[in-house]
Amino acid sequence: MEEYIVSARKYRPVTFDSVVGQGALTTTLKNAVKSRKLAHAYLFCGPRGVGKTTCARIFAKAINCEHPTAEGEACNECESCKAFSEGRSYNIFELDAASNNSVENIKALMEQTRIPPQVGRYKVFIIDEVHMLSTAAFNAFLKTLEEPPAHVIFILATTEKHKILPTILSRCQIYDFERMTVPNTIEHLKKVAEKEGFTYEEQALAVIAEKADGGMRDALSIFDQAASFCQGNITYQKVIEDLNVLDSENYFKIIDLALENKVSDIMVLLNAILCKGFDGGNLIDGLAAHVRNVMMAKDPQTLPLLEVSDEQRKKYKAQAQKCPIPFLYKSLKIMNDCDINYRQSSNKRLLVELTLIQVAQITQPEDQDVPNAGRQPHRLKSLFQKFVIAKPKPAIQVAGADKTALHATRSAQKQNTKTVATTKTVAPASTDHLSGKTKRTADNIKLGSIGLTFNNLLNPKKQTYGKSKNDEDLDNVVETPQISKGEALKFTQEELDLQWLMMCKRMPPKMIGLAQRLKNSSPIITDYPNIEVVVENEILLEQILGIKNRIRATLAQYLHNPNIQLDARLAKAEEARKILTKREIFDEMREKNPAIEKLRKLMNLELA
């Protein structure tokens, strides 16, 4: 039985023309051989498996060939070529610097350089992985490398050029080898498969080429593995099964579902992928690479940047026609954030699910109950928007209607008037004096308008914040009722504190600092219905005085008492008090009422 040799060794190039993907370098070396203009030291550098050592051997063989061809190739017929091919040449030496990296090894090498070749013109020393030499060995090598004997040529090979001393680099001709492209790798694998008598699918070879990541030796090793599994019939399905590679069709399907906002289908597909043993982080990485390829396929100028087979390139181009550019940009940003946070996440699956949900919602319209500047801009949208629309009114709207009706009833009782119920009523409108615009309650209220009372505080003339066209029409139609002296209702300190807190919460985000300071400045009833606010510093006092009339109007409206007067002053020395934290307030409550501590222990509660 013939001895089996792996493809990486069996089909190792023996001529410059058979080297794959390094056309510029091989042409330069052939021209040097033809013209006999040879340097004394060469440095071949580049990633693994791209042909550095192979080219060094071919070059060393061509240098010593007695009858090189007109193209600069070795003749393979002279005694020097035969000796090299049979492994008995005394003119070509290979040294592995990874295991021979000491000063003694370099000194022994220098001793050999003194002896001229017995057959041929040059003694060629190929030092592989030269970056592994120690600093002392490099220094011992310097003088010989700079001025070697006329019959000596050094060829150094390394994968990490940055680790070599600059003094070594300056003495060498440097050749940078490129990574193998996917098309070049596929073409070479086709030739190997044909020589071996294997049948293949081009898409299967494309998977092998992409898995090799630019290394031809890696590609041939993976090819041997796949050929052994497929028993000579290399198909796409068998290759992805053998290599445990996620089918690229999953990426195409996820993007198609995301464009249609089908979050549920994406979750089902994600679960199926994870059940097959694939990692969620690898899925996000692969999907990000897929979206990048789709973006490259969007423009004919960037289409050549796709390192995929021709069949895959057509698929990317077809999907690119359906994907808007903003969708691709935002998807890449979301998945890049997920990749950054994946290692630190304690619930990795949830992070992947949230990422895919966000991608699927990029093209989904904004929820109608949220204004453009309301809530958080990065919040998740409603997953079941159609069902939300069909739901009955939220409880907050019903409660708002009942509260309005209660106030109207109390006012009517004080005036001893009778009201006649009608079959259909229009919810009363109320004026928010802080914002200068009319609001509706009951059926006309919108959740998106809650909390916008302070919107036009600094610019009362501007009234477009969070307001739809229908809102403006209602403002023009509905007449704002005015509260007269006879309608004043009595309020307590508790009601005043509540309305003050609610007013602070309704202030817009740009005034969050003022709102927080107002929360710490509790108003008190001095001479009913007069209210006084004591503040700690002059800055806050000036801010309050600047909006004093609007605060008074707002409290008068929500407390239903137009007689309210508001005063603000600086705190006296004896009135100054420390602003307590939530923890300190809670500790005071526990000291005054031990039952609170008992309840906390009973329910195992902790202060957030």
What is the residue-wise DSSP string for 328-379?
A: HHHHHHHHHHHHHHHTT-SSHHHHHHHHHHHHHTTTSPPPTTS-TTSS-TTP
User: What's the pLDDT score for residue 482?
Assistant: 47
Please give the Cα distance from 334 to 288 (Å, whole number): 9
pLDDT at 393 over 50: no
Q: How confident is the model at residue 419 (pLDDT cuts 50, 70, 90)?
A: very low
Angle of CA points 481, 485, 487, to nearest 5°? 65
Q: Are strands 41-45 and 152-158 parallel, antiparallel or unpaired?
A: parallel
Residue type, 80: S
In this structure, which amino acid lies at residue 71?
Answer: E
Nearest-angstrom CA–CA distance, 56 and 476: 87
User: Euclidean distance between the first and final Cα of the chain, in Å?
Assistant: 76
169-186 pLDDT per residue, tens: 888 899 999 888 888 888
Q: How confident is the model at residue 16 (pLDDT cuts 50, 70, 90)?
A: confident
- From residue 15, alpha-carbon distances to 12, 18, 21 in Å are 9, 5, 13
pLDDT value at residue 265: 92
Q: pLDDT digits over 292-305, tens only? A: 999 998 888 888 78
For residues 150-172, one letter each, b for 16 or more C-beta atoms within 10 angstroms of the residue's C-beta and e for the rest, the string is ebbbbbbbbbebeebeeebeebb
Please choose, from the candidates 228, 227, 226, 224, the residue with its C-alpha nearest in 3D space to the C-alpha of residue 6: 224
User: What structural domains does the chain harbor?
Assistant: 7-176 (3.40.50.300), 182-243 (1.10.8.60), 248-360 (1.20.272.10), 395-481 (no CATH), 493-575 (3.30.300), 578-608 (no CATH)
> What pLDDT does 460 receive?
43
> Which pLDDT tens digit goes with each residue over 20-44?
888 888 899 988 888 888 888 999 9
* For residue 432, pLDDT beyond 70: no
pLDDT at residue 494 tops 70: yes
271 contacts: CB under 8 Å, gap ≥ 6: none
Contact 114, 149 (CB under 8 A): yes
Q: In this structure, what token pair is assigned to residue 214?
A: 């630019």
Read off the pLDDT band of 230 (50, 70, 90): confident
**Mean pLDDT for all residues in the chain:** 78
The answer to whether the Cα torsion of 419, 425, 426, 428 is positive or negative is positive
Alpha-carbon gap, residue 483 to 492, rounded angstroms: 19
Please give the distance of CA 302 from its chain centroid, rounded to a whole number.
Answer: 22
- Output the pLDDT for position 478: 29
Residue 207 has pLDDT above 80, yes or no: yes
How far is the C-alpha of 596 from the C-alpha of 242, rounded, in Å?
64
pLDDT of residue 417: 40
Bridge pairing between strands 523-525 and 530-535: antiparallel
Q: Per the structure block, which two tokens stand in for 562?
A: 């137009």
The helix/strand/coil state of 200 is strand
φ, ψ of residue 134 to 5 degrees: the values are: -75, 165
Over range 47-54, report the average pLDDT: 89
Burial of residue 377, with CB atoms counted within 10 A of its CB: 0-12 exposed, 13-18 middle, 19 or more buried: exposed
Rounded (5°) CA angle 280-281-282: 90
Whether 491 and 559 have beta carbons less than 8 Å apart is answered as yes
The first and second tokens of residue 352, run together, are 């992947």
Amino acid symbol at 491: F
Q: In degrees to the nearest 10, what's the CA dihedral of 240, 245, 248, 250?
A: 110
Peptide bond into 529 cis (omega under 30): yes
Cα gap 176→25, rounded to integer Å: 8
pLDDT at position 477:
29
- Please give the Cα distance from 568 to 592 (Å, whole number): 30
State how far the Cα of 542 lies from the Cα of 537, in Å rounded to an integer: 9
Model confidence band, residue 607 (pLDDT cutoffs 50, 70, 90)? confident
Q: What Cα–Cα distance (Å) separates residue 361 from each residue in 295, 351, 357, 381?
A: 19, 15, 6, 7
Residue matched to tokens 């508001």 = 566
- Asked whether the predicted pLDDT for residue 140 surpasses 70, the reply is yes
Residue range 134-159: average pLDDT?
87
Residue 202: left (phi > 0), alpha (psi -120 to 50), or beta?
Answer: alpha
Predicted TM-score of the model (pTM): 0.56
- Which of 496, 543, 556 minimizes the C-alpha distance to 517? 543
The answer, yes or no, to whether residue 346 has pLDDT greater than 60, is yes
Q: Which amino acid is at 392?
A: P
Residue by residue, what is the 3-state secondary structure of 543-566?
HHHHCHHHHHHHHHHHHCCCCCEE
Asked if residue 458 has pLDDT above 50, the reply is no
pLDDT of residue 577: 62
At 575, is the pLDDT very low, low, confident or very high (cuts 50, 70, 90)?
Answer: low
